[in-house]
A = this chain, B = another copy of it.
């Protein structure tokens, strides 16, 4: 999302740190996300007092306490709805929502999807650790099937959501993914998130080292990362692998992995990423359904559409243009009156 910016005040990351002690577990991925947000904000040029961070309940939802901006730690699942009210009533603010996978996709699922279709100009960061952290380790709607947790001692019987698919299904306009352990990429994605006009949804894979340690190590650790992650870049072919020797091409609407060293395929055969296609975004986002395909990170979709608050601002303008602002005594009088003398 965008908001009026300033180039007068120069901030550093530290300016965004509040005076509160951080109470996450040592080693928690949330620390990195906090750091990247604080590092990115100075470059966005938004004055501090215009920033509002809003969260529900969960480990990740403590985020606002650690930001020296306006902040609201609301109730479980409702951050998106509270944020809607904040933004609509005061469109000048730069509104950020931080939410856990449970907070956003379990109890908060309904407000999540309605926020996306309404396209309010807010930034939504989901800390996906695929677990309920704060309540000490139950499976979440993004936990893998068969996962053993406190509430699923013989394995979770549920199929998880694919968060980016869900966001696409809900008619979102900006959908991206990054990882706590890739600070540079994460900063880049936070910037993109901030710049998009409309609801920006950024899924951040986050390690909960207490209840779901290593959930994303395949994608974040040196040894395995490059062969298992593909970085999406607009207009660029989908190439990945330690030696940049793997690629993805489309076979009709089926994505297939190809070996660029097989003598048959070249970069020219590959799928070119296009951030403006909802259909392509869905194909990419569905890679996770196919075991042999890498995990895409980056911007899946970035399309322009009027924001909700913009639309109603226009409606007000039209009403005022047509009939002017209302006379309050006319309102009191109503349609018809009579005089008692």
**Footprint of B on A, CB under 8 Å?**
106-110, 113-114, 117-119, 141, 154-155, 157-162, 165-171, 250, 252-254, 277-280, 282-283, 286, 289, 305, 308, 311-312, 315, 318-319
Contacts and interface: CB of A to CB of B under 8 A. Distances in A.
A250 B106 CA distance: 36
Contacts of A167: 169
A118 B162 CA distance: 13
Contacts of A282: 168, 279, 282-283
B157 A165 contact: no
A117 B154 CA distance: 19
Contacts of A108: 110
A170 B161 contact: yes
A293 to B, nearest CB: 12
Contacts of A278: 286, 289
A194 to B, nearest CB: 22
Nearest to A169: B169
Contact of A159 (B141, B254, B305): B305
Given A279-B286, A305-B159, A308-B157, A113 B109 contact: yes
A312 B157 contact: yes
A302 to B, nearest CB: 16
Contacts of A279: 253-254, 282-283, 286
Contacts of A277: 253-254
A170 B159 contact: no
A315 B154 contact: yes
B159 A118 contact: yes
Contact of A117 (B119, B141, B253): B141
Contact of A157 (B110, B170, B315): B315
B166 A113 contact: yes
B166 A119 contact: no
A163 to B, nearest CB: 9
User: Which of A106, A162, A252 neighbours the largest number of chain B CB atoms within 10 Å of its CB?
Assistant: A252
A317 to B, nearest CB: 11
A168 B165 contact: yes
Contacts of A118: 157-159
Contacts of A250: 252-253
A286 B141 CA distance: 25
A158 to B, nearest CB: 5
11 contacts: A106-B114, A117-B160, A118-B157, A154-B319, A157-B311, A161-B170, A168-B169, A250-B252, A253-B279, A278-B286, A282-B282
Contacts of A114: 106, 109, 141
Contacts of A109: 109-110, 113-114
A166 B170 contact: yes
Contacts of A106: 114
Nearest to A318: B154
Contacts of A157: 118, 308, 311-312, 315
Contacts of A289: 278
A107 to B, nearest CB: 8
A247 B161 CA distance: 34
